[in-house]
């Protein structure tokens, strides 16, 4: 991978992290109204 990343596999972990954050955001959007 490019010289930007700090260690081997960092880009894959970053991809996974953003996907997990997006999933969490979607879960909140589907449920927050009923938890108000």
Q: In the complex, which residues of this chain contact another protein (CB under 8 A)?
A: 1-7, 10-11, 13-15, 17-19, 21-22, 24-26, 28-36
How many whole angstroms separate alpha carbon 32 and alpha carbon 8?
37
Least distance from another protein to the Cβ atom of residue 27, Å: 11
SS3 letters for 1-36? Answer: CCCCCCCCCHHHHHHHHHHHHHHHHHHHHHHCHHHC
Least distance from another protein to the Cβ atom of residue 19, Å: 8
Least distance from another protein to the Cβ atom of residue 34, Å: 3
């Amino acid at each position: 991978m490019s010289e930007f990343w700090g260690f081997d596999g960092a880009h894959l972990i970053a991809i996974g992290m953003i996907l997990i954050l997006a999933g969490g955001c979607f879960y909140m959007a589907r449920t927050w109204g009923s938890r108000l």
